[in-house]
Chains A and B, each alone.
Chain A
Amino acid sequence: MADLIFVVEESNTTVVDRIFKMVENVIHMEHGSVALVFLIGVIFGGIIQYTRVDKFEKIAGFSMLKDTIIPKMLFLTVGITSIGLYFMIDAGQAHYHVKPIILQGLIIGGILFGVSMAILGKCPGTGPVSIAEGRIDVLVGAIGGLLGGLVFTLYYDDFFKPLMGESLGKTILPDFFEGHEDMTALIFGVVVILIAIAIPKRELFDEADLCKLPDDQRPDKK
């Protein structure tokens, strides 16, 4: 019986203790104060909510190519940030935190992620924002996600780590254009911003939100 249950050893701590431990970890790390990290979260959630990109109609709508707000905003964000960040790193005001190319992991993971993003209509960043505005179906998705995280943790060494394969290094785009690194970063940023502007704007609206607005404020009737 004992090996059927994975949580056997009680560590005599409650969930509340473990949440305090989490906050304590952040205090001891040098990645901003707890207040700053919390504030980053508040602003992140606020921007996502205020632009409405957490909506099913935006993300699943993009998968049906009926809404293009998500790629437009994502590409614009990447374009501006990449230019700013490149020169901040040059000036010593930020550092690289590049993730390695673990090819099998990226491809298998990317496929699973793309499929589930289309079905759920959320991603791990936008999901909590939807839960915070009362979406029960997303809460059910999050419970599935927590179990996914649990399974991944339990079988990481035996199954998932070998599945991901070996790291091919932390290559960045300017590595391919030696001698022209600054130019590469700048051109990448500008091209991505232009892509964001060039993607035709399409929107899928949700009548459940729109019906609360007066007629002259409805974006679909302008």
Chain B
Amino acid sequence: MSNRLPWWVGGILMSGLLLLTFSIYGADRPIGASTYVPYVAALIFDLDPEKYSYIEHIKDSGSWEGVMLLGVLFGGFITSVFITKSFRFSLIPTAWKTYKNNSILSRLLWSFFAGFIMIIGARLAGGCTSGHFMSGMSQLAMSAMIFGGVVMITLVVTGKYFYNTKGKK
């Protein structure tokens, strides 16, 4: 068995999953993957929903995505162990060593920082790659197209200045 699927097979399968999720025979809602983060944060830190209006606001989406997240972790783990055989503990990606530096501390600090602003960003915009880009654009939503455009541009600009690609393959 091949250890990975080509992009077009992945795209077709992902469309099937999105359509199933949207359909009234499925979940009758879009797929999202960033509302669960503040929901889980509130769950871990035991925040009082009566004090913080945002928790009440995201209660439904957050718990739906929270259950989905458990599935994602399970599905990702099983697939990495039995199909792609890519399960291994690692602290620093190969390309980070090539294009940034060899310091584990640098990678971990940047990861922490990026994770922090990523969730603030996603919650300000009201969605992420799943909720806006995939689910939103599939509904022809203008909000998703604005978000997608801004993200694509900043992603590529950041990549150009954050990493050192000069003279490297």
On A, residues with C-beta under 8 Å from B are 6-7, 9-11, 13, 15, 18-19, 21-23, 25-26, 29-32, 34, 36-57, 60-66, 69, 71-78, 80-82, 84-86, 88, 92-103, 105-121, 123-138, 140-154, 156-157, 160, 163-164, 170-174, 184-185, 188, 192, 196, 201, 204, 206-209, 212-213, 217, 219
Contact = CB atoms under 8 A, between A and B. Distances in A.
Contacts of A170: 141, 143
B120 A151 contact: yes
Interface residues of B, number: 139
Nearest to B58: A153
Contacts of B110: 119-120
A92 to B, nearest CB: 8
Nearest to A9: B48
Given A41-B68, A42-B72, A164-B124, A134 B79 contact: no
A133 B86 contact: yes
A78 to B, nearest CB: 5
Nearest to B169: A66
A22 B159 CA distance: 37
A66 B160 CA distance: 11
B131 A185 contact: no
Interface string B149-165: 11111111111101101
Contact of A163 (B11, B36, B124): B124
A219 to B, nearest CB: 8
A149 B74 contact: no
Nearest to A142: B115
B108 A140 contact: yes
Interface of B: 2-15, 17-31, 33-34, 36-48, 52-55, 57, 59-60, 62-64, 66-80, 83-96, 99, 107-108, 110-147, 149-160, 162-163, 165
A141 B46 contact: no
A105 B73 contact: no
Nearest to B104: A137
A29 B40 CA distance: 18
Contacts, number: 540
B10 A73 contact: yes
B158 A15 contact: no
Q: Which 10 A-B pairs have the closest CB atoms?
A: A41-B71, A63-B159, A114-B154, A109-B125, A112-B121, A110-B150, A45-B75, A144-B115, A76-B11, A109-B124
A177 to B, nearest CB: 11
A129 B72 contact: yes
Contacts of B80: 49, 129, 132-134
Given A25-B59, A74-B134, 17 more contacts: A22-B63, A23-B67, A50-B79, A50-B83, A64-B159, A65-B156, A74-B129, A77-B11, A97-B29, A108-B125, A110-B125, A132-B75, A143-B112, A148-B118, A148-B123, A170-B143, A217-B3
A107 B124 CA distance: 9
Nearest to B30: A97
A146 B45 CA distance: 10
A31 B140 contact: no
B139 A82 contact: yes
Contact of B52 (A52, A145, A154): A154
B121 A48 contact: no
Contacts of A109: 120-126, 147
21 contacts: A18-B46, A40-B17, A44-B31, A47-B10, A53-B7, A62-B156, A82-B138, A86-B140, A97-B29, A100-B126, A108-B125, A120-B118, A123-B118, A132-B73, A133-B84, A134-B90, A135-B93, A145-B116, A153-B38, A164-B124, A192-B137
